[in-house]
Amino acid sequence: MKKTTLIIALGILIAILISGCTAKKPVLYIFNWSDYIDPALIKEFEAEHDCKIKYSTFDSNENMLTKIKSATQSFDIIFPSGDHVSILRELDMLEELDREKLSNFDNLNPQLLEKARSFDPENKYSIPYAWGLTGLMYNKTFVPENIVASGGWNILADSFFDNKNKITMLDDAREVIGAALVYSGYSANDVSEEALTAAHEVLKVWDRNITQFDSDSYKNELQDGTTWLAQAYNGDALQQMAENSDLDFILPKEGAAMWMDNIVMLNSSQNKDLAYEFINFLLEAEIAQRNSEYTMYPTPNLAAMRNMGEAFILNELINPSEEYLEKCYMIDFLGDEARKIDSIYEDIKMN
């Protein structure tokens, strides 16, 4: 009886010790867009660094900003778009990155680092993660080819969609207003009265066919026919097209918004050393290549792009021609001027 009791006691002690060791594993809190990293990489990093990653997702920059300003547990790493890097910097929420701790920084494409200086002037606070364009994704089962044959943003206004409630646009003021601005012949960053009035009038017409503004659920709704046509990010569209041959995607002929998402570390991070390890891990050429092939977005990692297969490199939905890119506009930080865009967006959503 005593021997049994001793064995049981030892077993409990060992379990407690094991539990204690497990509890002491460092935890890295990451906040990213959905479907925006190869899940296998998360597991690999956890195994290599004997840590735990708490991974959360957001569906718009605005929601991300609201969450990190109100969260009781600070995130360590987040992935904002360029204009929101500027916003976070102005709010004094970002850690200035120590290049000495990022041995793989030189893998980044100098040309894209130059573009990133539009929102991070000295590349001090952010690391380019992925870039891409916004276009129109549709289900060929429900949308005849002649409807999309024009290849322009005004497909959103086609009478074919009248009273069907089958179109969505992204829940992102800059993307929605930006599309209307580009269609109207202006830059996606033009906040002049003339440009915004024209964009507002265009959106009033488009809005007759728009069911909702959403940046995530359209990916599933296009699969089952709940949505027939959606404003979409090119990488998201290509991920879904790989699984469903009924889906297709176009880059509108007028041009589009061009965006860059970035890796930043919050200065409230509780585990900065591990955060540096994770950023450096993502900057490894092989890791960046695998991640880009999973997300279907081009990587700013030049060393990784050199190893990409021809099918990836030559796909103009991933890597558009220089001629097309000339018609695209990087979404810039507008400061207080962005309120003009937000006002139009709220008006369209509410009416």
pLDDT in tens, the chain (351 residues): 444 455 555 655 555 555 555 458 999 999 999 989 999 999 999 999 999 999 999 988 989 999 999 887 789 999 999 999 999 999 999 999 999 999 999 999 998 999 899 899 999 999 999 999 999 999 999 999 999 999 999 999 999 999 999 999 999 999 999 999 999 999 999 999 999 999 999 999 999 999 999 988 999 999 999 999 999 999 999 999 999 999 999 999 999 999 999 999 999 999 999 999 999 999 999 999 999 999 999 999 999 999 998 989 999 999 999 899 999 998 888 989 999 999 999 999 988
How does DSSP assign 161-227, residue by residue? GTTT--EEE-S-HHHHHHHHHHHTTS-TT---HHHHHHHHHHHHHHTTTEEEE-SSTHHHHHHHTS-
How far apart are alpha carbons 81 and 60 in whole angstroms?
Answer: 9
Q: Do 110 and 53 share a domain, yes or no? A: yes
Q: Do 142 and 233 share a domain, yes or no? A: yes
How far apart are alpha carbons 29 and 269 in whole angstroms?
Answer: 9
How far apart are alpha carbons 81 and 135 in whole angstroms?
Answer: 17
Read off the DSSP letter of residue 252.
-
Q: Do 83 and 155 share a domain, yes or no? A: no
CB 133 within 8 A of CB 251: yes
Q: Do 248 and 264 share a domain, yes or no? A: no
Q: Do 190 and 307 share a domain, yes or no? A: no
How far apart are alpha carbons 203 and 179 in whole angstroms?
Answer: 9
CATH number of the domain enclosing 19: 3.40.190.10
The torsion defined by the Cα of 299, 111, 131 and 337, in degrees rounded to 10, comes to 160
Which domain does 9 fall in, by range? 2-131+260-320
CB 65 within 8 A of CB 172: no
| Structural domains counted in the chain | 2
Q: Do 79 and 162 share a domain, yes or no? A: no
The torsion defined by the Cα of 108, 111, 116 and 120, in degrees rounded to 10, comes to 80
